[in-house]
Structure 1
Amino acid sequence: MAFDPAAACPADVLARAARVRLACFDVDGTLTDGRLVLDDGDGREYKAFHVRDGQGLTLLRKAGIAVAFVTARPGDAAARRATDLGAESHDRVGDKLAFVRKLALQHGVGMEEVAFMGDDLADVAVMREAGFAAAPGDAHPWALQHAHWHSLSRGGEGAAREFCDLVLAAQGRLAALLP
C-alpha cells in the first residue's frame, strides 16, 4: 500500500495546500521542540532540528515552493540550518504578520498562496491570514484553534515533514520526487 499523506484530509485542507507557493515556518516549537539550551559560559544558544523535517523542506524547494524561517528570536542556529537547506532565514521579527505580508510581495504571491506553520501566540495573527495555516500536534491551543491542519508529530519531531508531504501530495508533486 502506497503512502498517501493526503488520504484522510478534508477537501478544503487539500485545496488550501494545493495553492501554496511560499511556505513559512516559525522555528522554536515548530522546527525545534521548543526547548532553549543555553551555554553557561558565553551564553550560546543551541537548537536541535530533525533531519526528516529538513528533507521535507528540501523537497518543497525542489518542487518550486519557496521556504522561509520566520522567528522572533535572534540566533545563528536557525540561520545556519536554513542555509544548509537553501531556505531563507529571518530572525528578530517583531511583527510576523507584517513581515510575511512583505515576504509574500517579494515573492510575487498573494497571502492565499502562503502557508505558515506556527505553534504559539506570536504566530496567531499570521496564521489567521495565511491561505494555509498549520501547527505541530503539540502546539498551544491558541495556535491550534487557528490552524487549518495540524500534524500528528510534535514540533521538532517530524511535524514539518508531515506538513511538507501533505503540500506536495495536494499539489500532485510527491510521486515525481520519489526515487
Structure 2
Amino acid sequence: MPNPRPQAITADIRERAAKIRLACFDVDGTLTDGRLHYDSEGRESKDFHVLDGQGMVLLKRFGIQVAFITARNSQSAAHRARDLGVQGFIGTKDKLAQVRALCEEQGIDLGQVAFMGDDLPDLEAMLAVGLSVAPANAHRWIADRARWITNASGGQGAARELCDLLLDAQGHTHVLLAGSAP
C-alpha cells in the first residue's frame, strides 16, 4: 500500500527525535510486511529487513535503547531481538504498560520515547510517547494519528528511516559517514 501522505521531517519532528532515549517497535506490519508464514508443522517464520537491523545496532552504539514490543507470541520475533541484542517483549498485551515500565527502569520519561506501530494494538502507546511513527503501510486510523509516517512500508526499511532520523537529529550522522562509528 503506498504512503497516503508522504511527510517531510519538520522542525517539530527533529526536535522530538533529538530527545529520544528509547526506541520501541511493534513487530508485525512494522518490522515485517505484516504477513504471517506457517510451515506444514505450524511453525511461524517472518521476513525482517537487514537495513532495519543495522539501524537498531547503530542506535544502541550511540546510547539509544531499543525494544521490540509485540502482542503476538512469536518465536521469530524473539529470535530476531536476540540476534540484534535488543530487548524483546513478546506476547505483551498492554504495550503502554510495558513502555512505562521501561521508562521507569531507565529513568526516562515518555517524552523521550519513540514508538513505531501500524495498527490498533499500538495506538495507546503511540499516543503517549514523545514521537509516534507509523510505516507507510500502517492502517489509516493509525497513520492519521502518528506524528510522522515513513516513506517505506513495514519490513521494507521503515524502521531504518526512524533510526536514521534519530541518529541525524542527535548529531551522529557525520561520525557514521566519516567511518568512525563508536
TM-score (normalizing by structure 2)? 0.92
Q: Give, as a single letter, the amino acid of the residue that structure 1 aligns with 2:50.
A: V
d(CA) in 2 for partners of 1:20 and 1:60? 10
Whether 2:9 is the aligned partner of 1:36: answer no
> What amino acid is the match of 1:38?
Y
Structure 1 residue 177: Cα displacement? 2.1
CA distance in 2, matches of 1:103, 1:19: 16
Query: Are residues 1:83 and 2:82 paired?
Result: yes
- Are 1:124 and 1:142, in contact at CA under 8 Å, matched by a contact in 2? no
Unaligned regions of 5+ residues in structure 2, if any?
1-7
What letter is aligned with 1:23?
Answer: A
Q: Which residue of 2 aligns with 1:117?
A: 116
Deviation string 1:73-120 (CA, Å, 9 cap, x unpaired) is 012111111111111000111111111111111111100001000000
| Whole-Å separation in 2 of the counterparts to 1:114 and 1:39 | 36
Q: Secondary structure at the match of 1:90?
A: strand
Structure 1 length as normaliser, TM-score? 0.93
Give the % identical residues: 54
Structure 1 stretches (4+) deviating beyond 6 angstroms?
none
Aligned equivalents of 1:94, 1:132: Cα separation in 2: 21
Other-structure match for 2:174: 175
CA deviation string 1:120-142 (max 9, x = no partner): 01101011001000010110011
> How does 1:11-30 map onto structure 2 within 5 Å?
11-30=11-30
Is the deviation greater in 166-175 or in 111-120? 166-175
CA distance in 1, matches of 2:105, 2:175: 28
Higher mean C-alpha displacement, 66-75 vs 98-107: 98-107
Q: What is the aligned-residue RMSD (CA, Å)?
A: 0.9
The one-letter amino acid of 1:34's match is: G
Q: Read off the aligned partner of 1:168 and give its amino acid letter.
A: L
Query: What is the alpha-carbon distance in structure 1 between the residues aligned to residue 158 and residue 18 of structure 2?
Result: 18
The equivalences for 1:124-139 within 5 A come to 124-139=123-138
Give the gaps of 5 or more residues in structure 1. 1-7
